[in-house]
Copies of this chain bind each other. A is one copy, B any other.
Amino acid sequence: MKTRKLSDFELEVLQQLWRLEQATTPEVHKQIAAKRDVKYSTVRTIVDRLEQKGAIERLPQAGRAVVFRPLLSRKDVSLPMTRRFVDRVFGGDSRPLLSHLLGNEPLNTEDLDYLESVIARRKKDLADDD
C-alpha cells in the first residue's frame, strides 16, 4: 500500500470517489464545482495525477467516459496522514489534539457515550497488562 503523498486537491477528489464509490471525471467535477469555481480540465488533471500515483484506477468497460474508482481506502490514507499530522503540528504528542477535539468539536450525547466506551476499553487493556 505505497501511499505516496497526496495534495489537498487530490484528497478532495478522492473524497468524492469514496462517497460515490466510482465516478467519471465529469461527475466528480460537478460535485466539486458546486462548491468552488473550478474548470473541468483542472479536475481532470488531478484525476490523472491520482491515477499516476496509484490511488485510483480506471474501469475498462464503458466506451466513451472513463469511470474511476479508488484503490486506497479511507483508512489507507487517514492512518498515515494522521500520524504525519500529529508529528508535524504537535511534535508527535497527540494528547493536546485529543483534548482540543474532545473539548471543541460538535459532539452529541451518543458520540460522547461512544468515545467514553473507547476510553473504558483502553483502561481495561492497561489494567490487564500489568
Which residues of A are at the interface with B, using a C-beta cutoff of 8 A? Answer: 8, 11-12, 15, 19, 74, 77-79, 81-82, 85-86, 88-91, 94-103, 105, 107-109, 111-112, 114-116, 118-119, 121-123, 126
A-B contact pairs, 27 of them (CB 8 A): A8-B88, A11-B88, A12-B88, A19-B91, A74-B96, A78-B97, A81-B85, A81-B89, A82-B89, A82-B101, A94-B105, A95-B105, A95-B111, A97-B101, A98-B105, A98-B115, A101-B101, A102-B115, A103-B118, A103-B121, A103-B122, A109-B123, A112-B119, A112-B122, A115-B119, A116-B116, A116-B119
Task: Sort A-B residue pairs by CB-CB distance and give the 5 closest, nearest first.
Answer: A94-B105, A102-B118, A11-B88, A15-B91, A85-B85
Contacts of A11 in B (CB 8 A): 88-89
Q: Which residue of B lies closest to A106 (CB)?
A: B94
Chain A at the B interface: SS class: helix
A112→B78 CA distance, assembly (Å): 23
